[in-house]
Amino acid sequence: MAQFAWSEEYSVGIHSLDTDHDLLIGLIGQLQEAASDSNERLDNVTSILNAIQDYTDYHFSREEALMAACRYPELDEHLKAHAAIRRDLAQHAADISATGDSYDYASLFAFLSKAFLDHLLDEDKAYEPYMAARRDAVLQANEDFVNKDSHEDVLFVEAD
């Protein structure tokens, strides 16, 4: 099973997105620990998975706003990838809720590795040079995103 820990190889060169990625990877690491601990496993896994879903939505919204502001040519494909990750993450959460402690956590972590680490290294890293060349637009879009009132209800959690 892949170990989930931040590495500089995941950096996309945009501090806010790198911070989001670091936090998400940290949450997935916490989820691994919770899944391996049989004491109150289901409650802990459910709580952390809910936080991952919430922060994934927040992060994808930010990333999509920055890509749109830069007119990233692969935005439509990236939106489809994000939609698939959201859908599959929700399905895993529903499966855990339905099956409880008998859930196959190996399938969850295989999905998370592909959905987050592979997505980050392949699709997210692909926009790095494009967005770096449009740094001012990225910074302005990020400031606009952070200042929007619609994100006040996002659960912010500390990564390990």
Domain count, the chain: 1
Q: What is the DSSP string of 63-81?
A: HHHHHHHTT-TTHHHHHHH
**Residue 157 domain flag:** no
**Residue 7 domain flag:** no
Q: Which residue has the tokens 């459910």?
A: 46
**Residue 51 domain flag:** yes
**Residue 155 domain flag:** no
Q: What is the DSSP string of 17-84?
A: HHHHHHHHHHHHHHHHHHHH--TTHHHHHHHHHHHHHHHHHHHHHHHHHHHHHTT-TTHHHHHHHHHH
Domain enclosing residue 113, as ranges: 14-148
**Residue 153 domain flag:** no
**Residue 1 domain flag:** no
CATH code at position 64: 1.20.120.50
**Residue 2 domain flag:** no
Read off the pLDDT of residues 101-126 as tens digits, 9 standing for 90 and up.
Answer: 788 888 999 999 888 888 998 999 99
Give the whole-angstrom CA distance, residue 116 versus residue 74: 18
Cα–Cα nearest to 1, from 36, 26, 27: 36
The SS3 call for residue 129 is helix
**Residue 122 domain flag:** yes
Give the whole-angstrom CA distance, residue 42 versus residue 100: 6
Give the model's confidence band at 157: pLDDT under 50 very low, under 70 low, under 90 confident, else very high. Answer: very low
Read off the pLDDT of residues 5-62 as tens digits, 9 standing for 90 and up.
Answer: 888 999 999 999 999 999 999 999 999 988 887 777 888 899 999 999 999 999 999 9
